[in-house]
């Protein structure tokens, strides 16, 4: 089993929780997302290195889009 843990820090816990909610629908049995203080922590496990790389790539893109939308929404609502 191959494993990767991705930890990203954010402005505050609320932002990390909002992003966790945005990416959780994409989670499969091999993906676990949690919030620790102001950090979003996602662990991905896959059988193969190629599968792990693909899943990590997909996750990073999804998280990037969620973060951009969150920043845009926050900026426009203030």
Q: What is the pTM of this model?
A: 0.85
Residue 40 has pLDDT above 90, yes or no: yes
Q: What is the pLDDT of residues 46-70, one digit of tens each?
A: 999 999 999 999 999 999 999 999 8
Q: Could you tell me if 6 and 31 are in contact, meaning their C-beta atoms sit under 8 angstroms apart?
A: no
Residue 77 has pLDDT above 70, yes or no: no
Q: All domains of the chain, ordered by start, with CATH?
A: 2-76 (3.30.310.50)
pLDDT of residue 76: 52
Residue 75 has pLDDT above 60, yes or no: no
Secondary element (H or E) of residue 35 = strand 31-36
Question: What is the spatial distance between Cα 10 and Cα 17, in angstroms, rounded to a whole number?
Answer: 10
Residue 18 has pLDDT above 90, yes or no: yes
């Amino acid at each position: 089993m191959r494993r990767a843990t991705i930890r990203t820090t954010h402005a505050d816990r609320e932002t990390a929780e909002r992003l966790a909610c945005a990416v959780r629908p994409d989670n499969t049995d091999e993906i676990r997302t949690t919030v620790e203080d102001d950090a979003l922590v996602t662990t991905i496990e896959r059988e193969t290195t190629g599968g792990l790389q693909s899943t990590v790539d997909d996750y990073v893109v999804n998280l990037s889009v969620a973060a951009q939308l969150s920043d845009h929404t926050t900026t426009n609502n203030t």
